[in-house]
Chain A
Amino acid sequence: MRKKKIWPFLLLMMLAVTVVLAACSSDDSSDSKENTSKDNKETSKGESVSTGNKVLIFGRGGDSVSLDPIAVTDGESFKVTQNIFETLLNFGEQDTTIHEGLATKWEPSDDGLTYTFTLREGVKFHDGTDFNADAVVKNFERWANGSDDKFPYYGSMFGGFKGDEGHVIASVTADGDNKVVFKLTRAQAPFLKNIAMSPFGIASPTAFEKDGDKFGDNPVGTGPFKFVEWKRNDSVTIEKFDGYWEKGYPKLDKIVFRAIPDNSARLNDLLSGAIDLADGVNPADGKTVEGDPNLQLFERPSMNIGYLGLTNTRPPFDNVKVRQAMNYAIDKQSIIDAFFEGRAEIAKNPMPSSISGYNDDIPGYEYNPEKAKQLLAEAGLADGFEMELWAMPVPRPYMPDGAKVAEVIQKNLADIGIKAKIVSYEWATYLEKARNGEADAFMLGWTGDNGDADNFIYVLLDGDNIGSNNYAYYDNKDLHKLLIEAQTEVDENKRIDLYKQAQEIIFEDAPWVPLAHSTPLLAGKADLINFKPHPTGSDKLTYVDFK
């Protein structure tokens, strides 16, 4: 009985599946031929024209973590929120100078302890809430009442939270509808630059009071685009906000941020027309893009440093002569030529030249193996020594190919008698072990947050940050004094002078081998106009348009 029942059923299923698939595959192939050829014509003309609305597909390396900018620290999140939210002050179009944003005027008091911001009028949040002094106060209250794990950038930029000893912001109060007064506990030189950073985008108080922790799934700001949908690990869609205060903008109707993890796959998508703009183009692919008449190459102004850190507490790197010898031994120019395709500047200071306070008088260590050998001999290591050289396992804007750069360094070191063994760990492990001081020498880098010298030198090389970002365990009391003084110095010229002195100390002590300030590349369709990549990595797409 049973036998009879089941067998025809199975046979039928089998047949059905075969038929469906046969139909499906033949259908598919003929269908796709017709459709794609049509599509192709459309794409070559510019699909955005044929569909009647302007859609930009932005391909990037990863998904956002949250769309509440204050809750995150990763660049991919800011790329989106930068277009949903606005900050009181803005950075320049392609630099980190201060310009008006949601505030049209800002007046610091002479002692640098009070700042009065005059707000832009007639601005509304995407949910219809009015933007006013009250909204700004509520945002700052929300952040100040948070904690490090909720709002990490607030704590690190403003010295902690309400009640903490180092907290810089004593009070934020509304003075009428469109004036906000900030009182600080101590002068903070980079205060205005901090305020302009993406994480401090002003959110609709109605929305975050209602949504609480879920605000990151449904962000509401005053920016040119409003949030539509987020498909995790796939795409974030935002669309034009009709009530945007800057008349006639934005130009685009919709932006879709697509997460395409692999750099080559992303470039493939650009070549095939599936996306319009690709972030993170390999330096080696720059020429391909330049050679394609349908594409254009964008250079993001450099705001980074790639370096070879030397753990200053581990012998023999506790000897300054050895560290200097390392600096003379490495041929930076050939590294830049080979692996950055020449799209980088040789680094001699721990921050790029675009940052105010950069000391161009520092000569830098030239490539001079003889001098390196001599220094080693002076350090009593004429026969060289053995060491581990840690190579970065992941490409980063400041280091496109860690493993290959490490090989060059290894060869350079061998020339002066140092035997370096290349070691690599998976990224999270690498960072943790390097932070614990387990490396002899490690490759690493940093991309600036706000374009301030403090954000490079203090963060990366001050004794305070050992165990945090000072992976080199470098500690110099004189340097520390200068850096702390610079943090509260309001006079810009004096500040610049302090940072110049700081770089002199660092040059002498040679805690790292600074390698390069790279120029990260992006590629886009040829008909894309007004796209200006920002050094911070978060681009405003308000003015971007298609020809």
Chain B
Amino acid sequence: MTVTDSPSIADRPRYDCRDAYVETLAELAHADHRIVGVVNDSVGSSKLNSFRKAFPDRLINVGIAEQDMVGVASGLANGGRIPFVSAASCFLTGRALEQIKADVAYSHTNVKLCGMSPGVAYGELGPTHHSIEDIAWLRAISGMTIIVPADPVETAAALRWAAASDGPVFIRVSRMSVPRIYADDYTFEPGRAITVRAGDDVTLISNGTVLWRALAAAEQLATEGISARVLSMPTVKPLDTGAVVAAARETAGIVTAEEGVSGGGLGGAVAEAVVQHHPARVSILGIPEFAPTGSAAYLLDRYGLSADGIASAARALVSRGK
């Protein structure tokens, strides 16, 4: 199911997951008239121009008004539509957090929230535009399913699953290009971790734009004789607790690596599972502060979310032993 053969993951062609997003959304909309897009003036940044052309009445642009956007989506769902809300994740989740809680999650409406350009994708624009808190915020809300796809195949599969499921879903869709990780036969299952590389010495758990960096770290560690297991965790909520506990039991420790705050997101979820079920060492890599200006790639490197940074954290765990 995974594409892990050569060439090295870092050398593969890169893709913008927004392309998979818009192609899949159009495919779903052709098949199901209930699907509509809802945006906050974010047609271009969500790459939805072609969708608007194909379905002019079904792309609802409420303007720069995120609270209204999420409320409108809830009303559309009550009317039988399946709205895919598409907006910069920083504004979608931050500006409309109470609407996401009350109108979508607590109301259990069939709204799909697509957070575009999350994490530090808007690197140079600064922390107002970084969306490193989105996962932590939404993870605290009951009933939210939170998906962080790592490549175009997973993005498309997650969207197809979301369209077919009943209830609130949040999907992060990055603009940072990533290599393909999954083969065409990949099927998304909520709450399931995928072992994208087997290993027994240490475990790397990641998702989104950082997953391929974790795979590159594992390649690096292999040359040093360290066998690293790489778990892809596309669903942060509900978490695959079983896979985390197995990793805690079978390897020297766990490194989590994510494009988000280093507390409350994937690392926080993994740490909670480990502490409650099988205490083990967990090293949480993320972004611990308002980041300085710089490109997204620069910022990921700066905070240890590069292959080198992840490998270094893994080495430290292995050297301390089980």
Is the A/B pair a real complex?
A: no
A: residues with CB less than 8 A from B are none
